Amino acid sequence: MALRLGDVAPNFSAVTTEGQIDFHQWLGNSWGVLFSHPADYTPVCTTELGTVARIKDEFEKRNVKTVAVSVDPIDSHNGWIKDINETQSCTMNFPIIADDKREVATAYDMIHPNADDKATVRSVFVIGPDKKIKLTLTYPASTGRNFLEILRVIDSLQLTVNHKVATPADWKQGTDCIISPSVSDTDAEKLFPKGFRKVKPYLRYTPQPNLP
């Protein structure tokens, strides 16, 4: 059964390029990004792993741990890392799970027979500190993932979990947010001291509340 937003992310134990992990224990109180690859030595995925390695500090600023998964064994991963470092001008600095028995892929419903009945599709899961799934994405093999977009979504998730707002289309850090419809105008005046702009009764904008 496919995982839905709000479901608890399945826990697992696995061998990775940085040693054995228990996934939930490894996450601890951090957010997590788990993203899958159909196989090692694939061109698009090589660029993706390099990108995440180069911007790891952006994930760390947000208290996010990143981990990749592929159905190839650990020796293959270690060889692939050499290519990633060489071609992407980076140093791999986060783990890749060796899922040669496809246990993680099965738990996360990442084997899609219409795409490939043996390898994982290219999925992304953002997981909160409560171990619940906050975002799912599945990409076609031909399209590289946009990790700046994933960071943007994490910014929105971390903002909206603490404030009664949502973020509009193309929102970026520092721009106005939308007040949740469940908040009355009277309560909005108390919750948002910077004020708000009422376009329609259901559409009210306020400056990003977690900024000075």
Q: What mean pLDDT, rounded, does the chain reach?
A: 93
Distance (Å, whole) CA 78 – CA 80? 5
Q: Let me know if residue 46 belongs to a domain.
A: yes
Tell me if 66 is assigned to some domain: yes
Indicate whether 83 belongs to any domain.
yes
One domain, residues 138 and 34? yes
The span from the first CA to the last CA of the chain, in angstroms, equals: 44
Residues 192, 103 within the same domain: no
Residues 103 and 138 in one domain: yes
Same domain, yes or no: 103 and 180 = no
Q: Is residue 42 in a domain?
A: yes
CATH classification of the domain holding 106: 3.40.30.10
Range of the domain at 175: 163-206
Q: Which of 145, 175, 193 is the last residue of a domain?
A: 145
What pLDDT does 116 receive?
56
What is the C-alpha separation between 10 and 24, in angstroms, rounded?
A: 9
pTM (two decimals): 0.92
Q: Does residue 85 share a domain with residue 18?
A: yes
Q: What is the pLDDT of residues 18-41, one digit of tens each?
A: 999 999 999 999 999 999 998 899
What is the DSSP code string of 19-45? EEEEHHHHHTTSEEEEEEESSSS-HHH
Instruction: Examine residue 63 and state whether it is found in any structural domain, yes or no.
Output: yes
Active-site residues, by number, are 45
Residue 119 resides in a domain: yes
Q: Does 46 share its domain with 82?
A: yes
Q: What is the pLDDT of residues 70-110, one digit of tens each?
A: 989 999 999 999 999 999 999 999 999 999 998 998 899 88
Task: Please calculate the CA angle 159-160-165 and round it to the nearest 5 degrees.
Answer: 115
* Residue 120 and residue 169 in one domain: no
